Amino acid sequence: MLARCSLLLPFLLCSFLIPGCSKPDTGPYTTEVEIVPEEEKPLDTPASADWMEAGFRPLGESNFTLFAPEKEKGEIELELLPSEYGFQLVGNKRCYVVSKETFSNFTLQFEYRWEPPSEELTEEELGLYNGGVLIYLQEPDKIWPACLEVQGRFHDMGQIKSNARDVTVEATEDEEKREQARKPVGEWNAVKVVSEDGAVKSYLNGELIAESKPTSLTMGAIGFQGERYPVTYRHIQIKTSGPQGMRASEIK
């Protein structure tokens, strides 16, 4: 199913039913939440999915909404992949798909890839392949919101950085392991993000790439970026062990 961003609002109403420092930074970031007991959440587990792990629940089309502001140049199309618990972002507009739930302590797993190139890419061209996952994402939505980011950009896969001007991340990363673990453009890369009390670890294809110390950002939504080149995210699943809720904009 392919929907253009300009026509996405009515579509989403039908399809998307929901959303370093050794000492933590003290910032103004708070998240208005309505705690939803785990037993009340529909698992919506695929009948047959060998990628699902025990203790995880999938995040599908009903868990996300698209943020693609009109003031951003370019176009974007969103293609849902219900059977794969994922979606494809096609176009050149900067945007992100954001969860309607908020999370604190969790393990998030997914796979992503760009479309296979028609010819060999130069190093400069490889650097243009971008994306990533946003965590502890705060409202209001904007390009880019206050959050931490686990980079999906080809040269920096797994890097942990801050997208909040007043939050500094103290992180370490292993560039050698990244080079060894990273798969080429056009192939699937598997990412795991572990959040524990604001500390973050990122894994690429099973290898630990980066670790960060806690900041003032410890809870928020999860978002998946679209930038410049078509990118597909699939097999999105999460296991939680801390407070959860709904974004303030989703509380009626």
φ/ψ of residue 122, rounded to 5: -80, 165
What tokens does 75 get? 């176009």
pTM for the full model? 0.82
φ/ψ of residue 174, rounded to 5: -115, 100
User: What's the pLDDT at 157?
Assistant: 98
Are 104 and 243 in contact by the 8 Å Cβ rule? The answer is: yes
Q: Is the pLDDT of residue 17 over 70?
A: no
- 167-179 per-position pLDDT tens digit: 999 999 999 999 9
- 111-165 per-position pLDDT tens digit: 999 999 999 999 999 999 999 999 999 999 999 999 999 999 999 999 999 999 9
- 177-217 per-position pLDDT tens digit: 999 999 999 999 999 999 999 999 999 999 999 999 999 99
Q: Is the pLDDT of residue 231 over 90?
A: yes
Are 108 and 193 in contact by the 8 Å Cβ rule? The answer is: yes
**Residues whose CB falls within 8 Å of the CB of residue 208, separated by 6 or more in sequence, listed in order:** 174, 177, 201, 202
- 53-104 per-position pLDDT tens digit: 999 999 998 999 999 999 999 999 999 999 899 999 999 899 999 999 999 9
Give residue 36's pLDDT band: very low, low, confident or very high (50, 70, 90). very low
- 25-34, 142-151, 224-233: range with lowest mean pLDDT: 25-34
Alpha-carbon distance of 131 to 127, in angstroms, equals: 11
User: What's the pLDDT at 194?
Assistant: 99
Q: For the chain, list the domains and their CATH numbers.
A: 2-25+37-250 (2.60.120.560)
Segment 36-50 mean pLDDT: 49
User: What's the pLDDT at 27?
Assistant: 57
Question: How buried is 209 (Cβ within 10 angstroms: 0-12 exposed, 13-18 middle, 19+ buried)?
Answer: buried
Reference 139, options 87, 195, 93, 100; nearest CA is: 100
Reference 178, options 145, 197, 142, 152; nearest CA is: 152
**Residues whose CB falls within 8 Å of the CB of residue 101, separated by 6 or more in sequence, listed in order:** 18, 19, 36, 63, 221, 222, 244, 245, 246, 247
Secondary structure string (H, E, C) spanning the chain: CEEEHHHHHHHHHHHCCCCCCCCCCCCCCCCCCCCCCHHHCCCCCCCCCCCCCCCCEECCHHHEEEECCCCCCCCEEEEEEHHHCEEEEEECCCEEEEECEEECCEEEEEEEEECCCCCCCCHHHHCCCCCEEEEEECCCCCCCCCCEEEECCHHHCCCEEECCCCCCCCEEECHHHHHHHCCCCCCCEEEEEEEECCEEEEEECCEEEEEECCCCCCCEEEEEEECCCCEEEEEEEEEECCCEEECHHHCC
